[in-house]
Each structure stands twice: as C-alpha cells, then as structure tokens.
Structure 1
Amino acid sequence: MITLDAFSIYIMICVLAPVLGAFTLLFLFIFEKRIDLLEKQTREIALERELQTALYNQLNKEIQPHFFFNTLNSILSLARLDRKTELIRSIETLSKLLKFKYQTNNTFITIEEELTYINYYLEIQKTRFRERLQYEISTDPKVNKAVIIPFLIQTLVENAFKHSFEKKIGDALLKIEVIKIEQAIHVTVWNNLPDHLDEKLGKGGLGLGNIIKRLDLLFPNDETSVQLTNSEDGTTVIAIFPFVIKSLMEKGASSI
C-alpha cells in the first residue's frame, strides 16, 4: 500500500518532470544556437582575414608593373646611347633584382631586404645618371630585422626619379634615412628637386596611396602615416609605422 508521502512525491515528480524536460530542451536549444553563432563568427573572421589578405596582395602587386616599366626605361636609354658596358652591367643588376624579387613572395619583408632591393635599383640609376646622381643611405642597425611592406622605400625613391630627377636639370641628390624613434619606424626619403605632388597624398599617384592602404592592412590596430612636404630645399616624404621584428610578425603578433 502506497503511503500518502510516497504518493505526494510521485505526483510531484509527474508534475515537475515535464517542466524539467522543457527547461532542459530550452537550455540545449540556447546552447546549440550559441555554438552556431560562435561558429558563424569564426567563419566571418576567417573570411574577413582572407579578404584582407587578398586585398593586401592585390595592392602589393599594383606597384610592380610601374617599377619594372621605369627600370626598363632606364636600361633602354643606355641602349639608345650605345653605352654597351654600362648596359651589360645594368642588365646584370636587373637580373639580380629580379632574382631577389621572385625569391621573396611574402606580404612583408625586413627593412634589410628592402634596402638590398633599393641598392640594386639605385645602381641601375647611377649608371644612367652618372655623376649627376648622388645618393646617401643611413640606417639604424636596430631596424634591419624589422618588418616593412615591400616596395615602400622603393616607391618613394622611384617617385623622386619620376617626378623630379627625370623632369628637371641639375644635380640629383637623394637621401634615405631609416631610424627607430620610441616604438616606431621612421622612413625618410628626401630629394633636392621639389616635385610638387599634392601634399594631401590623394592626388600623388598610385604609389603613395598604395603605401597608405597597405600600411593600414598590415598594421590595422596601430597608428601609421605618410607625410609629404615640399619646400625650396626639395621634397621630403616620411612614412611612420610600428616597430615589429619579423620573427614576431611571423608568429602572428601583428598579422593582417
């Protein structure tokens, strides 16, 4: 015979069981939705990262045809002037430059690598401009292994030739300085012939706008800037971006 207490417990279980079941199902439903939301957010982050990477690579490649066109023009001018010895040396230098380029397929490189690239380019231009061209490269040894977007310094140097040295007569003086100030890299490229590019940079051609976009992609959470100023003494462009060692970047410390 069932006692009153046992019967009461039985009734309570019969009443509470559906309620507990409903709460359990509701909890599982909410948990499943939360898991789906997290998976969706993870996919969206991955897609956004892939989109940024694709955009970064696309912007990075925009510079290359312009650079190679100008370099080939320099070599062509030697051929037209029948300067065979210099022509051969320039072709050899271009070969080294191309070899260096196509061995480097990363979205960022070290400042040391970028400057190696610059030296190849300036060697070709020195052959073309002869004694008219004088250049100086000054770097802080501490920054050699820091990351930089490919063609940043190259673009600033190339602009000096395209907008100044190739259009104006007189000595062509170029200074490149790369230093570390606090936790930022300051890249300065100066030439003695004002090029009168728009100081807002928006009308300064593909190169400067490209640098701004790529710096923003490589350092999305840090402050970067590109400043162009003209004066009677010449044109100065300063690019500023965070100091990050390549090994840390490769580990994802500041990856795009």
Structure 2
Amino acid sequence: MLTVEAFSMYIMLCVLAPLLGAFTLLFLFIFEKRIDLLEKQTREIALERELQTALYNQLNQEIQPHFFFNTLNSILSLARLNRKTELIRSIETLSKLLKFKYQTNNNLITIDEELTYVNYYLEIQKIRFRDRLHYEILTDPNVTQAVVIPFLIQTLVENAFKHSFEKYIGESYLKIVVRKADKEIYMTIWNNSFEGQENVPHEGGLGLENIVKRLELLFPNSHTSVQLINTTDGMTVLVIFPFLIKSEI
C-alpha cells in the first residue's frame, strides 16, 4: 500500500516528466537551429573568402599584360632606332625577367622579389634612355622579406615613364624608398617633373585603381593608403600597408 509521501512523489513525477521532456525538446531544437546558423555563417564566410581570392587573382592578372606590353614597347623603340647592341641586351634582360616571373608565379610575393622585377625593368629602360636616366633604390634591411602585392612598385615605376620620362626631353630621376615605421610599410616612388608638365598619373587608370583594390583585399581589416603628392620638384606616390612576413599569413 502506497504511502501518502510515495503517492505525492508519483503524482509529481507524472506532472514534471512531460514538462522536462518538453524543455529537453525545446533545448535540442534551439541547439540544432544554432548549429545550422553557425554552419551557414561558416559557409558564407568561406564563400566570401573564395570570392575575394578570385577577385584578387583577377586583379593580379589584369596588371600583368600592361607590364609586359610596356616592356616590349620599350624594346621595340630600340629596334626602331637600330640600336642593335642595346636591343640584344634588352632582350636578354627581358628573358631573365620572364624566367624569374614564371619561377615565382605567386599571388603574394616579398618586397625583395618585387624589387627584382623592378630592377630588370629599369635595366631595360637604362639601356633605352642611356645617361638620361638616373635611379636609386633604398630599402630598410628588415623589410625585404615582408609581403607585398605583385607589381605594386612596378606599376608606379611604369607610371613615371609613361606620364613623365617618355613625354619630355631632359634628365629623368627616379627614387624608390621602402621603409618600416612601427608595424607598417611605407613605400615612396618619386620622379622629377619638368617645367610646364602636368606630372600627375591618370588617377582613374587601371594601375592605381588596381593597386588600391588589391591592397584592400589583401589587408581587409588593416589600414592601407595610396596617396599622390605633387610638389614643385616632382611627383611622389606614397603607399602604406601592414608589415607582415610571408610565414605569418
């Protein structure tokens, strides 16, 4: 025979069991929805990264034909002037450049690799412009292994030739400085201006717009900047982006 206490406990269990079951089902339902939401957010983030990577790669590919076209155009000018010795040297340098390019065909390179491109290009231009062209490259010793988007310096150097050196007769000066300040890289590419010259790169052109977009894609949560500084003695392009070693990305 049940005691009053046992009977009361039995009634309590009969009342609480459905409630506990209902709360358990509700908890499982909420937990399952939460898991589904997290999985959806993870998929969306992965998709967004894939889209950003695809866009970044596309922008990298866009800039390369312009670089090679400008280089070939420089070599063609030597052929037209019948400067055979310089033409042969330029073709040899272009061959080295192409070999280096396809040995390091990455979407992210070091500053040291980028400057290798630039030096090959400047060698060709030095052959073409002879004693008219003067250039200097200065780098902090601790920045050479930092990452940079491909053809960043190269594009700005090409702008100096396209918008300045090729249009005006006179001494052509180019100075590239790469330094580290705190946790950022500061790049300055300066070229001299000539009297009466509108020495301003085409702001809406592919080169600068491409650089801005690629920097934003590569460093989405960091400060990046591309500034045009026009002074009495020339044009400076200042580029700022985070200092990161390749192994940290």
Find the counterpart in structure 2 of residue 254 from structure 1.
none
Find the counterpart in structure 1 of residue 121 from structure 2.
121
* Contact preservation (8 Å) 2:212, 2:226: yes
Which whole-Å deviations, capped at 9, do the CAs of 1:5-59 have from their partners, x for residues lacking one?
2222222211111111111100000010011111111111111111111111111
SS of aligned partner of 1:197:
coil
SS of aligned partner of 1:142:
coil
Shift of 1:223: 0.9
* Contact preservation (8 Å) 1:195, 1:235: no
SS of aligned partner of 1:88:
helix
Shift of 1:124: 0.7
Find the counterpart in structure 1 of residue 100 from structure 2.
100
* Contact preservation (8 Å) 2:185, 2:243: yes
Which whole-Å deviations, capped at 9, do the CAs of 1:123-166 have from their partners, x for residues lacking one?
11111111111111111111111111111100110000011011
- What TM-score does the superposition give when structure 1 sets the normalisation length? 0.92
* Deviates further, 175-184 or 20-29: 175-184
Distance in 2, Cα, partners of 1:212 & 1:4? 81
Q: How does 1:85-164 map to 2 (within 5 A)?
A: 85-164=85-164
Shift of 1:2: 2.4
Shift of 1:204: 4.1
Instruction: State yes or no: 1:220 paired with 2:223.
Output: no
Q: How does 1:1-256 map to 2 (within 5 A)?
A: 1-193=1-193, 195-197=198-200, 203-249=203-249
Give 1:153's aligned amino acid. Answer: I
* Contact preservation (8 Å) 1:197, 1:204: no
Find the counterpart in structure 2 of residue 252 from structure 1.
none
Shift of 1:104: 2.1
* Deviates further, 96-105 or 152-161: 96-105
Distance in 1, Cα, partners of 2:241 & 2:161? 24
Distance in 1, Cα, partners of 2:11 & 2:179? 81
* Deviates further, 38-47 or 94-103: 94-103
Distance in 2, Cα, partners of 1:86 & 1:59? 33
Shift of 1:195: 4.7
* Contact preservation (8 Å) 1:78, 1:128: yes
Unaligned stretches of 5+ in structure 2?
Answer: none
CA distance 1:166–1:99, shift in 2 (3 Å): same
Distance in 2, Cα, partners of 1:48 & 1:70? 34
Distance in 2, Cα, partners of 1:105 & 1:50? 19
Which whole-Å deviations, capped at 9, do the CAs of 1:192-233 have from their partners, x for residues lacking one?
1255326xx7x3411111111111111111111111122331
Q: Percent identity?
A: 78
Distance in 1, Cα, partners of 2:53 & 2:103? 19
Distance in 1, Cα, partners of 2:27 & 2:182? 52
